[in-house]
Amino acid sequence: MPLSGSEEFIEELLQRTFRSTEGHVQVMKGCDVNGHSLICDGFNMPILVTEKDGLRMRVPPENFMPEDLLKFMGINCFSGRNCHIDPNFIVDVIDVRLQAEVQMALGDFVGHFVSKHRVRLLNMLSLEFSQTSLSKLVEPPHVVSELSLISNCWITAPDDEFGEVSDDGSSVTSIPSVQKYCLMSMKGSYTDFHIDFGGSSVWYHVVWVRHFAYVYNILQGEKIFYLIPPTHENRRAYWRWIWNPDHRTIFLPDLLGVPKDEPKPPVFELHVGPGQTILLPAGWIHAVYTPSDCLVFGGNFLSELHIPIQLSVYRMEQKSETPRKFQFPNFEKIHWFVADCIAGRLTNALYDNREPAAYEIEAAHALAKVLPRWLEKRLTLPPDERLYYLPSRATMELSYSQLIDKLEELSSILLPTPCKGRCSSIKPEKSKLDHSDKHSSGKSKSSVHEETVKQRSVYPSSTPKRSAGGGLGWLPDRAMRQKSSDVDQTVTGNQPVTEDQDILEALPELNESRLIGDH
């Protein structure tokens, strides 16, 4: 296969045929897309909404031009600071032919975008504008706020109102801003296969598709998505592919197993036209081709429906030493908040003799396994740095150790047999879930994490670094990875990649890493 992003690659890509999305992508009316329906029916496959009516979404009109992006200036109502979009603001864009990240002033990018004489093919994917006046013109589909962990679980401590900024530019304490991105892609842009940071879900609305080099009229164009379901086999093939130093010459679908009775690997081609919206669930592997100049508004969100796969993707990012600026901001902190919420709901369900939702039980079990490891590592950090990963005690019902103990106990009660058979035997006044005596008279088994934490290196020198995630489709830095054996196409199993053995099978070069067992 030619180098991804090259003209030869695009020609070959467009000549290939992929599987139909029928039965693998839900086409829905906007009024039918809501949190209740997705919680009840599951949010396990992409959703295409052909008309935005009923989504309760706000986006600029079709006459919104690239130059308009530079006109929005205003005062952020939360911070009181001047938060206009500065033309000299440096943005990260993708040089499509090189499949490499470059930086340039926003004004220069817009000027190049509308020029009839382009010398580079550029793709801007990561302009997050929540803290600018443009934010007033854009509101994600209402279902995003219904499912988003940030919207439903995040609590800002009184002294965190304005947030702190770390050396790498990421916020330490303020609420994460990832739900409002502006994407501007030139005709011919290609974003290689990727999983959005932290395994987050995506909303993605195409405002218009045009060709600025010739006319300003709207064309009958579209965005083309190449979608791969996040099965265990597919994700394992993805991680091995992403680490291959020659991975620009390898087309990921060629490495996927072909299911029995199917003529092609599980890659589905979805066309999204102007005025249409796509909702992509957690962990879906996807590439995007842009046949004409395109303006898109979109964003990322974490969901309680997908906590195991989110944790799995985050763990692989940690193993890969993904820089923090390219990770979902405050990922660990968000999951401490949701753990506190889930523990309370599951406890209430037991007391009320109700059977909890399966996704809540799975989330509690997954969080009970990972939170002690996170806590052990993060308590060694300086206090200011620790705030990025751990919530303030004032914002949580339980202490870290109490929360871990409760999740472990809830998991042991709910996982072995159906909840309904056990709820009646649990009485509030004598429940094992009451920690008041245990924590007042002695130390819990997990409190050792808060008192006796051994110093250890978070990142091993033997693990190659990579850049991934960030915005809607950041690309990895392949040049920093050293040579390894050829990608093995053999994949087995059907569980999320969460255990050390799974990771070692996917990335054998981590065998000597001290990180194995540390997460």
Report mean pLDDT in 10-residue bins for the chain, 519 residues.
Answer: 95 96 96 96 96 95 87 47 67 94 93 91 94 91 98 81 46 78 95 97 91 50 92 96 93 92 92 96 98 95 98 95 92 98 96 94 97 96 92 93 97 69 36 39 42 34 38 46 38 43 56 41
Return the amino acid letter for 120. Answer: R
Name the residue among 34, 25, 75 with its Cα closest to residue 55: 34
CA distance 119 to 186: 12
- Edge-first strand order for the sheet with 268-272 is 189-194, 285-290, 223-228, 268-272
Return the amino acid letter for 292. Answer: S
What pLDDT is recorded for position 85?
64
Classify residue 446 by its DSSP letter: T
CATH superfamily of 7-77+86-156+176-326: Cupin (2.60.120.650)
The number of beta carbons lying within 10 Å of the beta carbon of residue 370 is 21
Q: Which residues share a beta bridge with 93? A: 102, 124
CA distance 270 to 264: 16
Write out the H or E segment, with its range, that includes residue 64: none
What pLDDT is recorded for position 165?
45
Return the amino acid letter for 141. Answer: P
- Edge-first strand order for the sheet with 122-128 is 26-28, 47-49, 277-280, 201-210, 293-301, 181-185, 122-128, 90-95, 100-105
Q: Do 465 and 392 contact (CB within 8 A), yes or no?
A: no
Q: Do 504 and 243 contact (CB within 8 A), yes or no?
A: no
Q: Tell me if residue 31 falls in helix, strand or coil.
A: helix
Q: Do 375 and 449 contact (CB within 8 A), yes or no?
A: yes
Describe the chain by its helix, strand, coil percentages, rounded to 5: 35, 15, 45
What pLDDT is recorded for position 131?
84
Q: pTM for the complete prediction? A: 0.79
